[in-house]
Amino acid sequence: GEDVEQSLFLSVREGDSSVINCTYTDSSSTYLYWYKQEPGAGLQLLTYIFSNMDMKQDQRLTVLLNKKDKHLSLRIADTQTGDSAIYFCAESKNSGYSTLTFGKGTMLLVSP
Amino acid sequence: GAVVSQHPSRVICKSGTSVKIECRSLDFQATTMFWYRQFPKQSLMLMATSNEGSKATYEQGVEKDKFLINHASLTLSTLTVTSAHPEDSSFYICSASPGTDPNYGYTFGSGTRLTVV
C-alpha cells in the first residue's frame, strides 16, 4: 500500500536552514507536495514537484527529489520564527482529481 | 484564486445531536471535494470523496450513515455528523482543486474543530 513517512520533529535557530525529509513507497506517485499547517488552521500549499524533476526552488524553499530512493526533502533557507508550523509531505497520482496521501507531519520549531 | 471556505470554524454540540459542516469553493467550480479528519498530532485521514450530483465515495472504515455527505452544487459540499458522540470530536478539513494545474494543488479549507460534550 501507499505510505509516506516523515520525521516528527525538527528544532532550529532563527537564521539557520531547515531540512525536512520525507520518504514514500508508491513508485507511481506523480506529484509530491509540501503543505504547511499552522495551529488550528487548514493546510497551505507551499510547493510541489513533478516526478520527472530533481529539484525545484522557489524563493527560500528548495525541494529535492531522489526518485530512485523515493526520498523528498524541503529546505527552508534563513528560517524565521514565522516558519514554525507542521509541514506535511503528500503524494498523488495526478493533480486535481486523485486523492492525496499524507505523511504524519513534521513539527518545525524555530527559536530566536 | 482557488479559495475554499469552510464553516463553522469551531462548534461545540451535545452528544446525540447532529452537526453540519459546509465547504465552499469561492472562485472556482469543484466537481470533486475531499473530506479529511485530523486527530491531535496526527496526519490527515481521508474520510470520503464528495462527487457533485452523485454519491460520495467513503474510505474503508468510515461509516457513511454516520458522516453524511451532500454535494448538491459545483461549489458546495456538506458533511453532517449525525448523532454525534464524544469520540467524533476532531478537526475536520475539506479540500478541493480547481483543476489539474498543480500550482493550485489541492486547496484546503481552514478546518472545523468539533467538540462533542
**Cα B9 to Cα B21: distance, rounded to the nearest angstrom:** 9
Q: Band of the pLDDT at A3, cuts 50, 70, 90?
A: confident
User: Does residue B66 register a pLDDT over 70?
Assistant: yes
Q: What is the pLDDT of residue B48?
A: 94
CB of B76 closer than 8 Å to CB of B68: no
Residue with cell 524553499: A61
Q: What is the pLDDT of residue B82?
A: 97
pLDDT in tens, A9-63: 999 999 999 999 999 988 887 889 999 999 888 899 899 998 889 999 999 999 9
The shortest C-alpha distance from B105 to chain A (Å) reads: 6
- The fraction of chain B above a pLDDT of 90, given in percent, is 68
Q: What is the pLDDT of residue A2?
A: 60
Q: What is the pLDDT of residue B53?
A: 85
Q: Which residues of B touch A95 (CB under 8 A)?
A: 97, 100-102, 105
Average pLDDT in the A77-81 region? 97
Q: Band of the pLDDT at B51, cuts 50, 70, 90?
A: confident
Q: Which amino acid is at B95?
A: S
User: Does residue A97 register a pLDDT over 70?
Assistant: no
User: Does residue A1 register a pLDDT over 70?
Assistant: no
Residue with cell 531547515: A18
Q: Which residues contact A5 (CB under 8 A, 6 or more apart)?
A: A22, A23, A24, A103, A104
Q: Are A50 and B102 a contacting pair at CB < 8 A?
A: yes
Q: Which residues contact B60 (CB under 8 A, 6 or more apart)?
A: none
Of A41, A88, A92, the CB nearest to B43: A88
A-B Cβ pairs (cutoff 8 Å, strict) = 65
Q: Mutate one of A51, A99, A101, A107 to test the B interface: name it (highest B CB count within 10 A).
A: A99
Q: Which residues of B touch A105 (CB under 8 A)?
A: 42-43
CA-nearest residue to A3 within chain B is B43
Average pLDDT in the B69-86 region? 94
Of A45, A50, A102, the CB nearest to B44: A102
Q: What is the pLDDT of residue A52?
A: 87
On average, the pLDDT of chain B sits at: 90
On average, the pLDDT of chain A sits at: 90
Q: Are B42 and A45 a contacting pair at CB < 8 A?
A: no
Q: Are B6 and A42 a contacting pair at CB < 8 A?
A: yes
**Cα B29 to Cα A76: distance, rounded to the nearest angstrom:** 33
**Cα B47 to Cα B69: distance, rounded to the nearest angstrom:** 10
Average pLDDT in the B44-50 region? 91
Q: Mutate one of B44, B50, B104 to test the A interface: name it (highest A CB count within 10 A).
A: B44
User: Does residue B103 register a pLDDT over 80?
Assistant: no
Q: What is the pLDDT of residue B104?
A: 64
pLDDT in tens, A98-111: 778 899 999 999 99
Tallying the residues shown for chain A, one arrives at 112
pLDDT in tens, B6-43: 999 999 999 999 999 999 999 888 888 999 999 877 78
Of A33, A35, A40, the CB nearest to B113: A40
